[in-house]
Amino acid sequence: MSVKNLILLRGLPGSGKSTLATLLSENGKYPIYSIDDYFTNKNSGEYKFNFAENFLAYQQCESLCKQALEQEIPKVFIDNTFTLNWELEPYFKLAAQYDYMLYVLTVEKYHNHKNIHQVSQEQLEKMAEKYKVKLF
């Protein structure tokens, strides 16, 4: 029986989660899911966030992840901010349900790139205040 891995990449907007997910997924060999997918126009690539539909984006991301785990894809990546613990919990349950090893990678920003979603510095600071990392 081979090991199956669910890898959650978390960090503030602009930290490099999407770039790292692409690298780790071997440039798309393995699926990457994100709530950003819901808000990104597949034809133009334009990102347009709508807070009123945020819950739908979370549902879609979880659903796509579940489908991938049901197919026993060996590596599945989730690229979200995960600033609050409740955002992680559904994936913990899915990993246990489908017998996947679970990894949570926190991506920190040590580069000068801007976040692609134009999240303001003020909003980033608010997100950072809520951010909790479990070290043990």
pLDDT computed for residue 116 by the predictor: 67
**How far is the C-alpha of 113 from the C-alpha of 101, rounded, in Å?**
31
Q: CA-CA distances (angstroms) from residue 27 to 20, 24, 40, 50, 64?
A: 10, 7, 19, 28, 19
8 Å CB contact between 30 and 74 = yes
HSE, CB side, 13 Å, CA atoms: give it for residue 34: 19
For residues 81-98, average pLDDT = 94
What tens digit of pLDDT does each residue of 1-41 get?
A: 589 999 999 998 888 999 999 999 999 999 999 999 999 99
**Average pLDDT in the chain:** 90
Angle at alpha carbon of residue 45, lines to 43 and 49, rounded to 5°: 115
pLDDT computed for residue 1 by the predictor: 58
Confidence (pTM): 0.87
Helix (H) or strand (E) holding 103: strand 101-106
Domains defined for the chain, CATH in brackets: 5-130 (3.40.50.300)
